[in-house]
Structure 1
Amino acid sequence: MILETDRPIQQKPLSFDEFLAHYGGDKRYELIDGEVFDLEPTGKHEEVAAFITTKACVQIDRAGLPWFVLQRGLLRPSNAVMTAFRPDVAVVDRAELSKELLWSEQSIITRGSSIKFVVEVVSSNWQNDYARKVEDYAALGIPEYWIADYAGLGGIRHIGKPKQPTLSICTLVDEEYEIQLLRGNETIASATFPGLNLTAEQVLKADR
């Protein structure tokens, strides 16, 4: 099986402005502590991300919420000068965008309060999704974070042994994520989208 690989592609650390000038318009790249990573998404990676996006959009529409799914934007934590994440799925609250100083000219989010829900579909550099982003997304106050590990790539300490496809539902409680691991026909309980009627397998296989 050929899987996507996230890897730094340059030697010299880049500032956010340098990253934006060279890679800002391409969804393949994100910046972490000055290192540029080429996400190289596989077809299956894109299927899973698209499936979740579709389901989120249906829930937003049904509930009449003033939210939308970010298409090509960046999440630049205001306290991280050389980092710009590019989540696979990010649900944005329109009501908060007036507080985003960069939004009127660039598709860049800096405040966690602007994001209601975020998803990372796991690639070969799974450490970023299971460690770094768990910490940063919690610090930003993002209420719900999904880690969709459709190939069971994560470390044993994160998804158990034997390793298998796993959906991690991270729910913010007292500024930290409580994490529930779901597999197979186990039903998803989402605080953000309580109307979802999906199993972990449906999400991980992108299958209705």
Structure 2
Amino acid sequence: MTQSQAEPKLYSFDEFISWYPENSEVRYELHDGVIVEMPKPKGKHSTLTGSLIEQLLIIIRQMDKGGIWTIPRESIVKPKRDRSGYEPDIIVLNQEVLKAEPRWESESIIQNPESIKLIVEVVSNNWRDDYYNKLRDYEEMGIEEYWIVDYAALGGKKFIGNPKQPTFFVCNLEEGEYQMNRFTENTPIISPTFPQFNLSPQQVFAIAL
């Protein structure tokens, strides 16, 4: 008789937050009730993320949003579904709206889409999270703009083509659904939230490739 393996414990969002170790050097996310250890960004992933943050901060100042829009070091986004929670690679927050977030000051939790101007995920080996789960949940929340930065061409062929090539997606919310705008090579990236961000994917990825 074969003994079945015990089912893993499923956590609610609040249970996940209570569990989360303080001052942890490891990042964790909650995916459909399961706590997932996220690889700490290293090498090209980390360098590209840092470069994007620098570019966004420059544009924020150019738009006279400095001191209003901010990029925190850490935050956890709570989707509508209770058994998920994500820590984006980059998140741009509107501090004027952030005051209404009941759990921001004490727990760095964001749950109102109005607080978020942009979320960026730099694609890793777990690419399905960015292309499926997070896109679904960010869309359902009503987050206006979501970038999927696939510099290593890890995503599925139906997203980034065959043969695969490094791709930058700008997902804009239109009538409650994301429109995935695909940019490759030397095509200037068009962002409604950051119209001054006129770099091409090749320029963005050059620092990592």
- Give the structure-2-normalised TM-score: 0.87
Matching of residue 75 in structure 1 with residue 74 in structure 2: no
Alignment partner, residue 167 of structure 2: 166
Q: How does 1:168-183 map to 2 (within 5 A)?
A: 168-183=169-184
Q: How many residues align?
A: 197
Which residue of structure 2 aligns with residue 32 of structure 1?
Answer: 31
What's the offset of the Cα at 1:167? 0.7
The alignment partner of 1:105 has SS state of helix
1:89-144 per-residue CA deviation (whole Å, 9 max, x = no partner) reads 10001111122111121211011111011100011111110011111111212111
Deviation at 1:20, TM superposition (A): 2.2
Shift of 1:157: 1.2
Aligned-partner Cα distance in 1 for 2:69–2:21 = 23
Q: Which residue of 1 aligns with 2:86?
A: 85
Q: Distance in 1 between matches of 2:179 and 2:91?
A: 19
Aligned pairs for 1:85-164 (under 5 A) are 85-164=86-165
Identical-pair percentage: 39
For 1:107 and 1:175, locate their aligned partners in 2 and report how far apart those are by CA, in whole Å: 26
In structure 2, what residue type is equivalent to 1:23? Y
Tell me the residue number matched to 1:46. Answer: 46
SS of corresponding position for 2:138 = helix
Q: Which amino acid aligns with 2:143?
A: I
In structure 1, the residue corresponding to 2:74 is in which secondary structure?
coil
Match of 1:4 in 2: none
CA distance in 2, matches of 1:43, 1:19: 29
State the Cα distance separating 1:15 from its structure 2 match. 2.6
Question: Counterpart of 2:9?
Answer: 12
Quote the Cα distance in structure 1 between the aligned partners of 2:180 and 2:100.
30
Which shifted more, 11-20 or 160-169?
11-20
Contact 1:167/1:204, CA 8 A, preserved across alignment:
no
Q: Could you tell me which amino acid in structure 1 is paired with residue 184 of structure 2?
A: R
Measure the CA separation in 1 of the matches of 2:72 and 2:111: 13
Unaligned runs of 5+ in 2: 1-6
Q: 1:183, 1:38 → 2: CA distance?
A: 31
SS of the counterpart of 2:104? Answer: coil
Structure 1 distance, partners of 2:81, 2:133, is 12
Q: CA deviation at 1:24?
A: 5.5
Cα 1:31–1:91 shift into 2, 3 Å: same
* Structure of larger gyration radius: 2
Q: State the distance in 2 between where 1:16 and 1:136 align.
A: 14
SS in structure 2 opposite 1:70? coil
How far apart, in 2, do the equivalents of 1:168 and 1:145 lie? 8
Q: Give the aligned residue type for 1:30.
A: E
Which whole-Å CA distance do the structure 1 matches of 2:173 and 2:151 have between them? Answer: 23
Kept in 2, the 8 Å contact 1:166–1:204? The answer is no
Distance 2:87 2:205 in 1: 20
CA distance in 2, matches of 1:135, 1:86: 15
Cα offset, 1:45, TM superposition = 1.1
Amino acid at match of 1:63: M
